[in-house]
Structure 1
């Protein structure tokens, strides 16, 4: 199965390189639906996977000055305590089976649907906001809203491993519409590193990280991301994102049904 896991990591890596969408919305459903891992194991392993891959991504964006550290701090102020609290709730729930696993599975499905909405309607949301500058937050209201968004994403990511990618980037753009695309990507990846690390450590404590699976996924995904980035220069982004949104919609329906 090591080869199958590696090929899956390669496939997800290519799609991430093509679209820029976080691997969680692809990897976690793949592990549960195709390979039959429990939702808890899929989430825990994917969080460990994300903390490593996003760490390398942060270094690259930092070198180019694409990270807004003030926004990273605000998001982390909300997301890290929320992630730790969610892990505590999961631990107090005892064994991750029955209703708890079902809740995690549904959370994954809802998170995938949010990713689809982010893919399809991000530009429309930004256009709507640009026409209504009175709704753009500034000062203390903007800072407090950023902390609140971080807390919501912290819970979502810890439960489902999904939300820090397309959903997180969309919410950052809505709060800070003046950011350049590279700054949104760099900031989104940077704040996701401590969040996924804290959540992953929590899942190690819960015993839901599959180490052999993690190694196989990393072996495949790293060259896959590079390959996808090269292909993205030749394929229309709108076509790729539309196809991905369609696939993720079917995945989400399957998860919540």
Structure 2
């Protein structure tokens, strides 16, 4: 699960940070943290580099385009639109948790799928969709793209799926972060504060994840994401 799906709504809903500033600052902070997990999978050889490359062809320009789209809308409309877009992205992320669990359950019950054969057009399309969403909301580099990869490449092992998703997020978040540095509302103090908490948080989370049942984590994440999303779109 990408950090933007949790951190950005926390900044907006609880700390009353303007949506654009929350997205911009969270993306820059994420850029510092993303290589940690991706590097580990790269060294282990659990990354499909060909899939990463074709994802990046779609995600990098689309992420930058998402930032430019926000800028083109003008300051008068950006904050309200971004708040609603963020809410919809969170609701989609909550649905993605359920879909991912369901797909994995069906795959475990069925026969083992064959090797994952590269589908270039569909992979670029997934990258473009994910890139546009991440560029506008900071949400989706992990939570949404990994589900789309699971649909397209059922033959990927769990380790390859996670490793490929983590590594593809690096150029994606890099492009989105650069766009927000140039055209967004990046705040150095906010990003520094996020990193001060995120760096030890990653270490603690890595240890807790191996001891905590997914049967507890997934429903909790689903509830948090769905509630935050509904609140941002003003349903509740």
What's 2:54 paired with? 74
Change over 3 Å in CA distance of 1:64–1:132 after alignment to 2: closer
- Structure 2 match to 1:235: 212
Question: How far, CA to CA, are the matches of 1:104 and 1:132 in structure 2?
Answer: 41
User: Does 2:29 correspond to 1:49?
Assistant: yes
1:82 Cα deviation (Å)? 1.1
- Measured after TM superposition, the shift of residue 215 of structure 1 is 1.0
Q: Please give the per-residue CA displacement for 1:148-200, whole angstroms capped at 9, x wherever unaligned.
A: 11101111000100011121111111111111111111111111111111111
Paired residue secondary structure (2:144): helix
Cα RMSD of the aligned pairs, angstroms, is 2.2
Range moving further from structure 2, 84-93 or 29-38: 84-93
Does the residue aligned with 2:42 lie in a helix, a strand or coil? helix
CA distance in structure 2 between the partners assigned to 1:249 and 1:154 by the alignment: 22
Residue 88 of structure 1 is aligned with which of 68, 71, 86? 68
TM-score if structure 2 supplies the norm length? 0.91
CA contact (8 A) 1:126 1:174 kept: no
The Cα shift of 1:128 comes to 5.6
Superposed displacement of residue 236, structure 1:
1.3
- Displacement after TM superposition at 1:118 (Å): 1.4
Deviations 1:7-41 (A, max 9, x none): xxxxxxxxxxxxxx111110000010111111101
Structure 2: stretches of 5+ with no match in the other structure: none
Task: Tell me the residue number matched to 1:117.
Answer: 95
Partner of 1:40: 20
Match of 2:7 among 27, 31, 35: 27
Q: CA separation of 1:91/1:247 partners in 2, compared to 1, >3 Å: closer, same or farther?
A: closer
Match of 2:174 among 197, 222, 237: 197
Q: 2:151 aligned to 149, 174, 177, which one?
A: 174
Equivalent residue number for residue 165 of structure 2: 188
Which residue of the partner structure matches residue 218 of structure 1? 195
Q: Paired residue for 2:131?
A: 154
Of residues 228-237 and 188-197 in structure 1, the stretch that sits farther from structure 2 once superposed is: 228-237
Matched, 1:247 2:227: no
CA distance in 2, matches of 1:236, 1:128: 20
CA contact (8 A) 1:44 1:208 kept: yes
Residues 99-149 of structure 1: CA deviation (Å, up to 9, x unaligned): 22111111111111111111122132355679999xx9x867x32111111
> Is the 2:49–2:164 contact (alpha carbons within 8 Å) kept by the matching residues of 1?
yes
Higher relative contact order (CA 8 A, sep 6+): 1
Alignment CA distance shift 1:207-1:114 (3 Å): closer
Instruction: Identify if the C-alpha distance between structure 1 residues 129 and 63 changes in structure 2 by more than 3 Å, giving closer, same or farther.
Output: closer
Give the alignment's TM-score, normalised by structure 1. Answer: 0.83
d(CA) in 1 for partners of 2:88 and 2:71?
22
Number of residues paired by the alignment? 232
List alignment gaps of at least 5 residues for structure 1. 1-20
TM-aligned CA deviation for residue 90 of structure 1: 2.5
- Which range moves more in the overlay, 203-212 or 152-161? 203-212
Contact kept in structure 2, 1:113 and 1:248, CA below 8 Å: yes
